[in-house]
């Protein structure tokens, strides 16, 4: 773990007026629970980063939407929404966190540390959002938007509707929103010679299943997820 917040400021590209906001942004609730066990509930809430994450989520959404509209003024709402959904996903935000090694700055409790909290994708993504929220409170939207562009600029620039079609992520998020477990993917069979195989995969979730096929297992899983989304939409 690194405790040098000035190093983190440098990689983010923002110098905080109130450094305590950045400190809060990198503080997981597990750290607060272990290090401030007797703290009043309100004090404990103000020490961890969940509220900043909530704020940062909205700021990132707006900054990404604004950037996409500027880059692709002729695309329709559906394509822009698809790209934005991909860019603000846990996977993309976690990659942004990896790019600045945000995991090493995190303040987490011992239990979270032991279970690899510094490398958990959701935790990294949440921390990135919290940092953006902290920048917004510290210096306003323009500064926060600049940080989003620095952290995610290449992803935003390279985004296309075709590259943003991640049906597996969409399915997982839809199931999570319904408080259901993530789907499981099972390889049913593979047909054809080694150089020209077709894979058949089944996606199974609580209350349903669907199937897909493709020239790779990943492609077959993606098609199974797409079929699952169609099934859930019809229901």
Residues 187 and 115 in one domain: no
26 in any annotated domain: yes
Residues 139 and 174 in one domain: no
Other residues' Cβ atoms within 10 Å of the Cβ of residue 35: 13
**Does the annotation mark 57 as catalytic?**
yes
**Hey, which of 1-10, 64-73, 220-229 has the most confident mean pLDDT?**
64-73
CA distances in angstroms from 1 to 99, 108, 118, 151, listed in the order given: 16, 10, 9, 21
Residues 149 and 194 in one domain: no
Cβ atoms of 188 and 217 within 8 Å: the answer is no
Mean pLDDT throughout 127-131?
97
Domain count, the chain: 2
Who has greater pLDDT, 44 or 185?
185
Residues 109 and 192 in one domain: no
**Does the annotation mark 138 as catalytic?**
no
In a 3-state reduction of DSSP, which class is residue 139? helix
CATH code at position 210: 3.30.160.20
In a 3-state reduction of DSSP, which class is residue 209? strand
pLDDT confidence of residue 78: 76
Checking if the pLDDT of 1 tops 70, the result is no
Question: Using 50, 70 and 90 to split pLDDT, how confident is the model at 217?
Answer: confident
The interaxial angle of helices 217-234 and 167-177, nearest 10 deg, is 40
Residues 12 and 85 in one domain: yes
Last residue of a domain, one of 108, 137, 158: 158
Cβ atoms of 8 and 26 within 8 Å: the answer is yes
Given the residues 23, 53, 112, 129, the one annotated as active site: 129
Q: What is the pLDDT of residues 89-101, one digit of tens each?
A: 888 899 999 999 9
Given the residues 57, 112, 155, 221, the one annotated as active site: 57
Residues 47 and 98 in one domain: yes
Q: In the sheet where 208-214 sits, what is the strand order?
A: 184-191, 198-205, 208-214
Mean residue pLDDT of the chain comes to 89
Residues 151 and 71 in one domain: yes
Beta bridge partners of 208: 205
Measured CA to CA, the distance from residue 28 to residue 131 in angstroms comes to: 12
Question: What residue numbers bound the domain in which 193 lies?
Answer: 170-234
Q: What is the pLDDT of residues 9-19, one digit of tens each?
A: 999 999 999 99
């Amino acid at each position: 773990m690194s405790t040098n917040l000035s190093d983190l400021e440098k990689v983010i590209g923002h110098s905080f007026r109130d450094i305590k906001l950045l400190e809060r942004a990198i503080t997981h609730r597990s750290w607060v629970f272990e290090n401030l066990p007797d703290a009043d509930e309100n004090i404990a809430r103000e020490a961890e980063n969940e509220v900043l994450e909530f704020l940062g989520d909205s700021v990132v959404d707006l900054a990404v939407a604004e950037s996409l509209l500027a880059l692709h003024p002729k695309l329709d709402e559906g394509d822009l929404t698809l790209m934005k959904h991909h860019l603000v996903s846990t996977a993309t935000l976690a990659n942004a966190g990896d790019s600045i090694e945000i995991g090493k700055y995190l303040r987490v409790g011992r239990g979270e540390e032991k279970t690899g909290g510094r490398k958990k994708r959701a935790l990294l993504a949440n921390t990135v959002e919290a940092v953006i929220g902290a920048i917004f409170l510290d210096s306003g939207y323009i500064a926060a938007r600049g940080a989003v562009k620095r952290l995610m600029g290449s992803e935003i620039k390279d985004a296309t509707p075709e590259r943003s079609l991640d049906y597996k992520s969409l399915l997982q998020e839809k199931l999570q929103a319904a408080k259901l477990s993530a789907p499981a993917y099972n390889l049913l069979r593979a047909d054809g010679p080694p150089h020209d195989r077709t894979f058949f995969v089944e996606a199974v979730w609580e209350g349903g299943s669907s199937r897909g096929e493709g020239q790779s297992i990943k492609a077959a899983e993606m098609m199974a997820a797409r079929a699952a989304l169609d099934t859930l939409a019809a229901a």
